[in-house]
Amino acid sequence: MRAEAGCDAVPQTDQENLPVVPWPGKGCVIDGRTGGSGTNRPGEPEEQKSSHASNQNQPSQQNRDNPFESRPHHFGIETVAGKRSKRIQCACKIPLSLRIKKIDCPLQFMKSFNIAALAGDGIGPEVMREAVKVLRATEMKCGFKLEITEAPVGWAGIDTAGKALPDATLALCKRSDAILFGSVGLPDRDPMIPKEERPERAALLRIRKEFGLFANLRPVKLPKALAHACPLAKERQGDGIDILVVRELTGGMYFGQPKKIEDIGGGNRRAIDTMVYTTPEIERIAHIAFKAAQLRRKKLTSIDKANVLENGILWREVVTRVGRDYPAVALDHMFVDNGAMQLMLRPTQFDVILCENMFGDILSDEAAALGGSLGMLPSASLGATNGSQTFGFYEPAGGTAPDIAGKDLANPIAQILSAALMLRHSFGLNDAAAAIEAAVAAAIAAGKRTGDIFSPDESGAKRVGTREMGDAIAAAV
């Protein structure tokens, strides 16, 4: 089975259905609009454009193809960029003129994207290597250009530059179009340093805050072939589970003030957390969820606790109002307790689930358990869309898995699917993202299984390592 998705050598132009919209490249005239350089984040001064500095702690780009691999690659973009033709043809041989309207884009302006690749600790570098391999295969097929620059983070950052998020790494992120992240933290080393300096707090939470990442998207997909890896009985799995959890990430009880523990006399104390949401906060996450639903099976289930919480009442009102802008999407509302139960009883009823921060924290992990393995679950955290550009942070749902690190045992699919989400949500390369997702499905259909999704009872399944799984997916793109 082979992915037959077309490619987007330049971003598509009819993006109304997308949660985010790509920005046109400099010199590209798309439906009469002329694009910017595409190398900066919105609002970033010109002088901060990618000039990869070269001091000792500076992110390196020695191996431009795959900084996590010494093996050389070739780029599709270079193959086609030699020809100056308005009738661009990407490596998949489908003339772009058939798929993209009104594009006058000289090849020297073909779209390029800057990616900060922060592999981190444990299995991070192994799975990142495979994700970059797949991205390079996609680039070769689809004719866009990715500048992938690696930088240390987590313990790798502490060991090279004295902190979990070195200044140079943060600077790289700021001048990049998206961050592809591995995972950070090592349980045997974390307790040796103060809490606030530990990788998850000092790097992960800092990045989320720094870039205002308010929307977390976690797709959970259990193909039928992996039914054995799901804790639910097969009859509850239908034709496979395919759910997208959209979680608000910066509001609600985790951040509302006051937030404290205080003495109330008599040797007693009182803990206070405050749940706060404003209409704009609800509106912006609701738009993300409805737009995502439009691209899927057009069903949105909004989770709240409107029977008890004022927040729930406002949440329901605002989501209902936003839903009027999306008549094609069927909206229903569910109390969170029922939602938790329905996920276990009949997960196939869900398409997109929209939650506030705390409910989303819990339900996204519950839904993740249905996906069979942490090694299969990607995630995207999106910031504000500025003009036509959305900054995103893409990471697997799992951690550094020190128990299997360095042994070629890790499942790279979560990292590879995170890269696909990056192409879709930050770069608007929908077909390229779909090509990666189809390639993952093809590798699974061909029986490739890393240890976490392998069952000796499954006929035709072959147990493979991290590298072989990455090779199979790259070959299927």
Whether the link from the prior residue into 280 is cis, omega within 30° of 0, is: no
**Active-site residue among 141, 163, 305, 448?**
305
Written as one string, the DSSP assignment of 19-74 is: SS---PPBT-EETTEEB--SSS-TT--GGGS-----STTSPP-SSSS-TT--S---
Minimum distance from residue 187 beta carbon to ligand NAD (Å)? 4
Q: How far apart are CA 418 and CA 431, in angstroms?
A: 15
Interacting residue with ligand NAD among 204, 285, 432, 436 (CB under 6 A): 204
x-or-dash string of contact with ligand NAD, 350-389, rule CB under 6 A: ------------------------xx--------------
337 is catalytic: yes
> How many residues lie near ligand NAD (CB under 6 A)?
24
Q: For 245, list phi and psi in degrees, rounded to 5.
A: -95, 125
Q: How far apart are CA 63 and CA 322, in angstroms?
A: 46
305 is catalytic: yes
190 is catalytic: no
Closest-CA residue to 247 (of 289, 300, 306) = 289
Paired tokens of 152: 């240390």
Interacting residue with ligand NAD among 164, 241, 404, 420 (CB under 6 A): 404
x-or-dash string of contact with ligand NAD, 109-128, rule CB under 6 A: --------------x---x-
Contacts of ligand NAD in 174-203 (CB under 6 A): 183-187, 190, 200
Sheet containing 33-34: give its strands across: 33-34, 29-30, 103-104
Identify which of residues 150 and 281 has a Cβ nearer to ligand NAD in the complex.
Answer: 150
Q: Radius of gyration (Cα) for the chain, nearest Å?
A: 22
Q: How many residues does the chain have?
A: 477
Closest-CA residue to 364 (of 339, 383, 338) = 339
401 in contact with ligand NAD (CB under 6 A): yes
**Active-site residue among 145, 299, 361, 408?**
361
365 is catalytic: yes
- Which residue is listed with tokens 């205080």? 262
Report CA dihedral (205, 207, 209, 215) to the nearest 10 degrees. -90
DSSP 265: E
Give me the helix-helix angle, 336-345 and 357-369, nearest 10°. 10
x-or-dash string of contact with ligand NAD, 294-313, rule CB under 6 A: --------------------
Minimum distance from residue 347 beta carbon to ligand NAD (Å)? 21
**Active-site residue among 26, 145, 174, 254?**
254
Minimum distance from residue 7 beta carbon to ligand NAD (Å)? 27
Q: Which stretch binds ligand NAD (CB under 6 A): 95-103, 302-310, 402-410, 467-475?
A: 402-410
Identify which of residues 301 and 400 has a Cβ nearer to ligand NAD in the complex.
Answer: 400
**Active-site residue among 365, 403, 407, 462?**
365
Q: Which residues contact 65 (CB under 8 A, 6 or more apart)?
A: 71, 72, 73, 75, 132, 136
452 in contact with ligand NAD (CB under 6 A): yes
Minimum distance from residue 156 beta carbon to ligand NAD (Å)? 12
- Which residue is listed with tokens 């086609």? 80
- Which residue is listed with tokens 């008599």? 266
Minimum distance from residue 247 beta carbon to ligand NAD (Å)? 14
Q: Which stretch binds ligand NAD (CB under 6 A): 223-231, 299-307, 403-411, 418-426?
A: 403-411
Contact residues for ligand NAD, defined by CB under 6 A: 123, 127, 183-187, 190, 200, 204, 374-375, 395, 398-404, 410-411, 414, 452
